[in-house]
Amino acid sequence: MQYIHEDVVVLACSTTDDHIWLMRKVASPSAHQFVLVRTMLFNENDTGGTGPRLKQENTSQTNLLADMFVDNPDIALSPQDTYTMTVSTSNHLFVVFSFIEAQHRFLSLLHDNGEHIVALCSLLSEYPGLNNSFTSSAWTSDNTLVLHLQHNIFTVSCDGPRLVL
């Protein structure tokens, strides 16, 4: 079965197996919701198909930004917003939401333990001058990384529920 992926805004791939995490922007009549889903790449050639396909697994994190929007009603989505996601070898996920028109960024470190995707820590901050420039990152350990954002280099880690730059 082919995985429908019209609403995927960013993805991250594991370097150790065939898992791929998709962040979907799901629209409803009243709002948008960001959902993180773990999928598995499999080869349909083994079952008579035409090639590799994604198969959704039962692991997901629904509405990554629910609390952020409730606590900050002045932040709104725009077509200029950008999203970045990466995964470590131990299935820690790092997600950056850049809300360009709202001039805010939201960063979150999550962990996929194989059964659930849980948020470990996050940070919402104003970022005057935020634009849609290139963002990149590199993992320095299983749960820390270096982030290049808006011509700045940051280290990223958790301090309890708070993400620290």
**Per-residue pLDDT for the chain (165 aa), expressed as one digit of tens each?**
455 567 889 999 988 888 999 999 988 777 788 999 988 887 666 666 666 677 777 778 888 888 888 889 889 899 999 999 999 999 999 999 999 999 999 999 999 998 899 999 999 999 999 998 888 999 999 889 999 988 899 999 999 999 999
Q: pTM to 2 decimals?
A: 0.87
- Res 48: pLDDT: 62
- Res 143: pLDDT: 87
Whole-Å CA distances, 126 to 74, 83, 139: 12, 16, 24
- Res 1: pLDDT: 41
Q: Tokens at residue 79, please?
A: 């077509």
C-alpha–C-alpha distance, residues 117 and 153, integer Å: 27
